[in-house]
Amino acid sequence: MEKIRKIVHIDMDAFFASVEERDFPELKGRPVAVGRSAERGVVATANYEARKYGVHSAMSSKVALQRCPHLIFQPPRFDVYKAVSRQVHEIFAQFTDLIEPLSIDEAYLDVTDNKKGIRSATIVAEEIKRMIRETTLLTASAGVSYNKFLAKIASDYDKPDGLFVIEPKDAVAFIAQLPVGKFYGIGPVTEQYLGKMGIRTGADLQRFSLAEMSNIFGKNGQFFYDIVRGVDNREVVVDRKRKSYSAESTFEKDLNGSFAVVTELYRLEQRVWNEVTQAGKYAKTVTLKLRFADFTTITRSYSSEDYICGFAEFHAIAKSLLTKIDYSGSGVRLLGVGVSNLTDVESECGRQLSLKFK
């Protein structure tokens, strides 16, 4: 029989905002967003106080201020967040080498055979949380289960400062009561679409056959069929080198006209650029993706000779790619932008900027 794995998922709580509160104690108890309050600013994250007002990641700063007029904006300090992320990673490495980082503040750990010989994954998770608190003065939430899907859902279930365990025997019942929006890969648009068919919980999904799941989820039918039954055999993949960074949005109402499209594109560019900057990467290639109301999808790429180092250059490239696509006759259903061809090395970027964008 296959050995039951012990997977822990760790996710720092309101990460950037918690670091700001830690370093600026006068912020304690007040609603805080990390980001810029400028006209086109976007909230990177908000503390739990601000979330009570409906402020959340990726929201425009303007809307955030409408929802919470006394919101305090803190400019991001990526170097500090990266340093904390490294400290947390060093703690993980004391337990296992099977670490799969998902983002700056999240990782999966396979602790089945851990370095400290601790039998209980719950005790491993408690230890990690305690060490994170002592070393960084910050809290993390932990999820413990026998696969990645359930461990990630578990860490989200009891946030902040949570520890939630899903035992194999409880998995199917646990999944049954989950709202579909909590499933990996089901965003607000899909959630709404499923809701129209009366599919609201895991139990609703558990009733479908594999063929029916494939009708709903296309090529992901098998994946969803398995996970609603608590089956997820994906391994914890160590040091998966990211080859690209991208962000895309499907719109509830198709976008019409260049103003709307350029505005949304700018938002997506900011998300991508934040991620790339946080990861300390430089990119050469920019790719733009548009899907029209009739589902036709177009992608366009441009590769720069030098690594792109400024947001302005990235924005100029993305915008010039957009001008090559004629979307005047059709609504835009999905918009995406990404960068690839990455390096860690800071280069002499932008040398030829003035030549390229004259």
When CB distances are held under 5 to 8 angstroms depending on the partner's kind, the choice from Mg ion, ligand TTP, none that residue 274 binds is ligand TTP
* DSSP code at position 218: G
Query: Out of Mg ion, ligand TTP, none, which partner does residue 216 contact, by CB within 5 to 8 A per kind?
Result: none
If the CB atoms of residues 22 and 319 are measured against Mg ion, the closer one turns out to be 22
Please report where in the chains the tokens 């902040």 appear, as a residue: 160
User: Where does this chain touch Mg ion (CB under 5 A) — which range of 8-16, 168-176, 290-298, 314-322?
Assistant: 8-16
Q: Which two tokens stand for residue 302?
A: 């441009």
45 lies in the binding site for ligand TTP (CB under 6 A)? yes
User: Can residue 335 be called a binding residue for Mg ion (CB under 5 A)?
Assistant: no
* Amino acid, res. 43: V
Binding mask 193-232 for ligand TTP (x = CB under 6 A): ----------------------------------------
Among 10, 12, 272, 334, indicate the residue that binds Mg ion (CB under 5 A). Answer: 12
**Is 127 annotated in the active site?**
no
Is position 49 an interface residue for ligand TTP (rule: CB under 6 A)?
no
> Which listed residue (7, 8, 10, 12) binds ligand TTP by CB under 6 A?
12
Q: How far is residue 134's CA from residue 131's CA, in Å, rounded to a whole number?
A: 5
Strands in 332-343's sheet, in edge-to-edge order, are 244-255, 332-343, 282-292, 297-308
Q: Which of 15, 92, 282, 314 binds ligand TTP (CB under 6 A)?
A: 15
Residue 12, H or E segment: strand 7-12
Residue 127 carries which side chain, given as an amino acid letter? E
- Which of 168, 173, 190 lies closest to 228, judged by CA? 173
Rounded least distance, CB 273 to ligand TTP, Å: 10
CB 101 within 8 A of CB 107: yes
CA–CA distances in Å: residue 98 to residues 43, 95, 207: 32, 9, 35
Name the minimum Å distance from CB 220 to ligand TTP: 22
Q: Which is nearer to ligand TTP, 52 or 324 (CB)?
A: 52
Q: What is the DSSP string of 85-149?
A: HHHHHHHHHTT-S-EEEEETTEEEEE-TT-TT--S-HHHHHHHHHHHHHHHHS--EEEEEESSHH
As a residue count, the chain comes to: 358
The token duo for 163 is 């520890």
Instruction: Check binding of 105 to ligand TTP (CB under 6 A).
Output: yes
Tell me the per-residue interface mask from 140 to 179 with ligand TTP, x by CB under 6 A, - otherwise: -------------------xx-------------------
Q: Provide the residue type at 256 as one letter.
A: N
- By CB under 5 A, name the one of 5, 7, 9, 15 that touches Mg ion: 15
Please identify every residue annotated as catalytic.
106
Residues that bind ligand TTP (CB under 6 A): 11-16, 44-45, 57-58, 103-106, 159-160, 271, 274
Residues that bind Mg ion (CB under 5 A): 11-12, 15, 105
